[in-house]
Structure 1
């Protein structure tokens, strides 16, 4: 796996509101935050671009609403939010429908590879990765740098967070939208790229 010198790391919706278990229910992958932090550190140390995406919910009572404490980034993200990071604010699932325009910024920067991380695996992360794949980006998705929550569907159908994450991995790689990888693989590839630079 090769990490391009201009490969952008997308950190999607890593906000305090997702810590509210009473609102979201059971989650998976407790290592997600540590893995996202490790990737942010590696990208910043290598000089590669980092994009922070924040969801501003328009749903009344949402913990991700503007002005709510849960709208803020989790502390480990805020601590790593350098002035060089692009901040995109969105109100829908795809990070490509936000302000400023992510696609326009990526084009202006000559970026063709995206590493997509964040919350929720099967919602904003998967939607962004699908759209990026459709737009022609080389998309890498470290599944262990994402997490999601159990979800109920129609007629009493429900899936656990782990089942949803597995479905996302199959959808994205099986559908040709992205390559599903691990954080360790990305960190090793990033380090190898720096040694040969």
Structure 2
């Protein structure tokens, strides 16, 4: 595997409590979630210089499967941290509240931050948006770099290594895959790149320096000015 440095995998709330049959919803998106998380975690753990960081949710509500007194607060076996991997505990949707995660990520001076986990519609979305707004890596999503230079880093959301559940609103039910897709669509390009497990694994094998963005690869021939051409904001 090609040497890979200044890259981090951030796993959000991959905990046993999300196996509850009804608490979060009655159906979950992304059937291949477990398989893809396992593959990504193995790849990052065997890549020299790559970092793995875990976030877990410890609910303050006694009835939650994620309350620290419940077995559900423990990590899923396939995503359990190993020695040397940092773990950040949170009580809100954002892991940047009352933790030093933002400082830790900035100190790593990352070229790319890869985010996976549960749930797309809640803590994954909150984490990704906050990471973008806090600029924990030097990205260019949703803005133009003031000095005109190209951004030096990427935030990447792996669409098939995140998952969410069905929801009800205003008398209608929205299935889990629809909820998942809508949240991916609202984050793509404004806050991050959205790509697949296969794409990330392929880039890790191929090169540690080139961009992992699928759009950068697509636009490379027609827009030689590079990543700066695709930076945009809807705000």
Q: Could you state the TM-score of these two structures normalised by the residue count of structure 2?
A: 0.76
The match for 1:52 is: 54
2:188 matches 1:160: no
The match for 1:131 is: 130
Give the structure with higher Rg (CA). 2
- Does structure 1 retain, via aligned residues, the 8 Å contact 2:65–2:72? yes
CA distance in 2, matches of 1:44, 1:84: 11
SS in structure 1 of the partner of residue 157 of structure 2: strand
The match for 2:5 is: 5
Q: Could you state the TM-score of these two structures normalised by the residue count of structure 1?
A: 0.89
The alignment of Structure 1 onto Structure 2 pairs a total of residues equal to 189
The match for 2:94 is: 94
CA RMSD, Structure 1 to Structure 2 (Å): 1.9
Greater displacement, 20-29 / 47-56:
20-29
Structure with higher helix content: 1
Distance 1:92 1:75, change over 3 A: same
- Does structure 1 retain, via aligned residues, the 8 Å contact 2:53–2:87? yes
Give the C-alpha shift of residue 4 in structure 1: 6.3
Give the C-alpha shift of residue 82 in structure 1: 2.0
- Does structure 1 retain, via aligned residues, the 8 Å contact 2:56–2:89? yes
Unpaired segments ≥5 residues, structure 1: none
Give the C-alpha shift of residue 110 in structure 1: 1.8
CA distance in 1, matches of 2:125, 2:18: 17
Unpaired segments ≥5 residues, structure 2: 138-153, 211-235
The match for 1:187 is: 201
